[in-house]
A and B are shown apart, each in its own frame.
Chain A
Amino acid sequence: MIENVQTASAVGDTTQQTTSMIKLENVSKYYKTFPAVNNFNFEIGRGEVFGFIGPNGAGKTTTIKMLATLMLPTDGKLSIGGYDVVKEPHEVRRIIGYMPDSFGVYEDLLVWEYLDYFAALYKLSPAQRKRATSDVLELTDLTTKHDAQVMSLSRGMKQRLCLAKTLLHDPEVLLLDEPASGLDPHARIEIRELIRELCRMGKTVLVSSHILTELADFCTSIGIVEAGKLLAAGRIDEITAQLSGNVMLEITVKGDPSIAIEILQERPEVQRTTCDGRVIRAEYTGQADDVDELLDYLIQRGVRLLGFTRSQADLEDIFLKITRGTVA
């Protein structure tokens, strides 16, 4: 099943190929003999929001660093906007905005000086710099911090400042490596809202995270990585369709759900169950039209049901399925 997904995403459909902004072909990166990235193949179309999902140490940051022209691949070809990342780094840098997972800021500078510095490094004229600084401060809701010292900003604000810096030259492609890592829930939501806004602006975004719920809301496609291997990549609906000829069921029970789970597991067509309070999510591998048989069986066995509905597989389901539950 997993192999099928990889093949499908590696080839991609023709419409994606013509408009693909990011493309990786047989990309590998070895640290001495350790394969941090092992033969990655995927494409991201223009305007797509690609969620790069995997646990720490899976190879996400290495891949993003290679795309951000900070690291050379051991093997393979990477391109962004048609430019070869290895051979034409300067052209690539012109069209990308890169936000690393862990970064420092120049604490001695004022917020506007920090942004002006990076805007100048992106060759913007003084007039353009002023306008761009004002625009990105507004977008990241930092306008009131224009004259504040960078060192006086909170962690969340520094994160937003870094994102503001990333947007200064209006890049077509954004490479965001764990943009919400280490933030409190409030700041996390703010960053998520910002990324959502960027999606609306039509940017092509590659955003990595090991927290699935962070990406679930706005990603149009995903890549799932584990231990340097790309397990699946492609549009969420395509992967879902390939993975689940299966039906996801959401069953709400009255009383103890563990008894209902035991009864469900007696059925060979129920493959996997998870429980959240009184809501049981079960993967049904039988014929979609025969779901009513399962409902009958539960009722016959005395399970008191409050709800029995079919649901779409979400990111969590996909991730668990692809990684065989070993990472969850």
Chain B
Amino acid sequence: MKLSNPILVKEMRTRMRGKRAFIVLTGYILVLSAIIGLIYLVFTKNAPPSILNTAGRVLSAVLIYVQMGLICLIAPTFSSSAISSEREQETFGLLIATLARPSTILIGKLGASLSYLMLTLLGSLPLIALTYSLGGVDMIDIVKSYLVMMVAGVTFCSVSFYWSTLIRRGVLAQLVSIVTVIFLVAAMPALAMFLTSLAMNFANGPTTGFLNVTFLMLRTNPFAAITYLIIPGVPNPPNSVWFHTVPLWITQVLFYVGLTTLSIFLSLRRLNSVRKWL
């Protein structure tokens, strides 16, 4: 199959040609392997046999959490300089003066970032296969966790791409993208936890509306979604809150798909009005 998007072809060429791509990929796999290896060593040396049986579950959970964390850090850097770097190196005008449509630019730039992101995610498959072989985790839950991670990666890349159309300086675009991701994955659950601890002090217990807001915030979080998928025994939301019958990972994925759609829409609108801001 031939790639017909010239921007995607060019991005793949330049991205994979340098050392950076291989260093990031190798570093990513090495970090994951080191963490899993260390935990496995601790388990086999000190843990009693009853705990040792849960090694597969613990290692899989750790692997997925660490991967999710790494995606939060690296996904924004993949696409946050997509447009701003073109502007910085004065190639954007040349690109716009061609017959490339805004959708071509978006698909090319975002496609290249996502391809690389997927490559890093798929690169960890042998590790997850190893932890899966130790038992304790359902294959379907691992698949769902990977789906959550992939969707989160796509969302972070799309949001970062939008920032890159707005901010001229690449470094600043990258910084704002990372702050946005931190807000999405850390600030929301932090607020939810704060509200939960606040609720403990209510004389008659938290109101339904209060609980709804808290759980809705939790439902936007990929870490929460993964927790409900791979950690057994996490209490389900109370029956009184909205969507209590819907699994948390589904609403999380839907929320992120919505965010992605919004980012892409805004990016296209921005690229369509390029003559107003170039």
* Chain B hits for A102, CB < 8 A: 90
Interface residues of A in 116-164 (CB under 8 A from B): 117-118, 120-123, 162
- Assuming the contacts A70-B275, A108-B14, asked whether A94 and B93 have C-beta atoms less than 8 A apart, the reply is no
* Chain A hits for B96, CB < 8 A: 69-70
Asked if B97 is an interface residue, CB under 8 A from chain A, the answer is yes
- Complex Cα gap A103–B278 (Å): 14
Asked if A30 is an interface residue, CB under 8 A from chain B, the answer is no
* Chain A hits for B276, CB < 8 A: 72
A108 and B90: CB pair below 8 A? no
Asked if B98 is an interface residue, CB under 8 A from chain A, the answer is yes
**B7, B14, B275: which contacts A69 (Cβ < 8 A)?**
B275
**B9, B93, B275: which contacts A103 (Cβ < 8 A)?**
B93
A121 and B91: CB pair below 8 A? no
Besides A102-B90, A104-B89, A109-B10, 8 other CB < 8 A contacts?
A: A68-B97, A70-B278, A71-B278, A72-B276, A98-B94, A103-B90, A103-B91, A117-B9
Asked if B258 is an interface residue, CB under 8 A from chain A, the answer is no
Asked if A105 is an interface residue, CB under 8 A from chain B, the answer is yes
CB of A72, distance to nearest CB on chain B (Å): 5
Asked if A190 is an interface residue, CB under 8 A from chain B, the answer is no
Q: List 28 A-B contacts (CB under 8 A).
A: A69-B96, A69-B275, A70-B93, A70-B274, A70-B275, A70-B278, A72-B275, A72-B276, A89-B275, A93-B97, A93-B98, A98-B97, A100-B94, A104-B89, A104-B90, A105-B91, A106-B14, A106-B91, A108-B13, A108-B14, A113-B10, A117-B9, A118-B98, A120-B9, A121-B7, A121-B95, A121-B98, A165-B94
Interface magnitude class on chain B: 20 to 34
CB of B244, distance to nearest CB on chain A (Å): 51
**B7, B14, B89, B98: which contacts A109 (Cβ < 8 A)?**
B14
CB of B7, distance to nearest CB on chain A (Å): 8
- Complex Cα gap A109–B18 (Å): 11
- Complex Cα gap A108–B12 (Å): 11
CB of A62, distance to nearest CB on chain B (Å): 12
- Assuming the contacts A100-B90, A100-B94, asked whether A71 and B275 have C-beta atoms less than 8 A apart, the reply is yes
- Assuming the contacts A102-B90, A106-B91, A108-B17, asked whether A69 and B10 have C-beta atoms less than 8 A apart, the reply is no
Asked if A251 is an interface residue, CB under 8 A from chain B, the answer is no
Task: Please name the 6 residue pairs, one residue from A and one from B, whose CB atoms are nearest each other, closest first.
Answer: A120-B6, A104-B89, A121-B98, A104-B90, A108-B14, A98-B97
* Chain B hits for A121, CB < 8 A: 6-7, 95, 98-100, 104
CB of A284, distance to nearest CB on chain B (Å): 47
Asked if A224 is an interface residue, CB under 8 A from chain B, the answer is no
**A100, A118, A120, A165: which contacts B93 (Cβ < 8 A)?**
A100
Binding site for A on B (CB under 8 A): 6-7, 9-10, 13-14, 17-18, 89-91, 93-100, 104, 274-276, 278
Asked if A96 is an interface residue, CB under 8 A from chain B, the answer is yes
CB of A117, distance to nearest CB on chain B (Å): 5
CB of B85, distance to nearest CB on chain A (Å): 10
Asked if A90 is an interface residue, CB under 8 A from chain B, the answer is yes
**A98, A108, A123: which contacts B99 (Cβ < 8 A)?**
A123
* Chain A hits for B90, CB < 8 A: 100, 102-104
Residue of B nearest to A98 (CB): B97
B98 and A122: CB pair below 8 A? yes
**A96, A108, A120: which contacts B18 (Cβ < 8 A)?**
A108
A122 and B10: CB pair below 8 A? no
- Assuming the contacts A71-B278, A120-B6, A122-B99, asked whether A104 and B13 have C-beta atoms less than 8 A apart, the reply is no
- Complex Cα gap A37–B90 (Å): 23
B94 and A109: CB pair below 8 A? no
**B13, B89, B97, B100: which contacts A96 (Cβ < 8 A)?**
B97
- Complex Cα gap A90–B7 (Å): 18
- Complex Cα gap A94–B101 (Å): 12
* Chain B hits for A94, CB < 8 A: 99
* Chain A hits for B7, CB < 8 A: 121
* Chain A hits for B100, CB < 8 A: 121
The residue among A71, A104, A108, A109 with the most chain B CB atoms within 10 A of its own CB is A104
* Chain B hits for A93, CB < 8 A: 97-99
Residue of A nearest to B91 (CB): A104
CB of A179, distance to nearest CB on chain B (Å): 14
The residue among B93, B96, B98 with the most chain A CB atoms within 10 A of its own CB is B98
Residue of B nearest to A120 (CB): B6
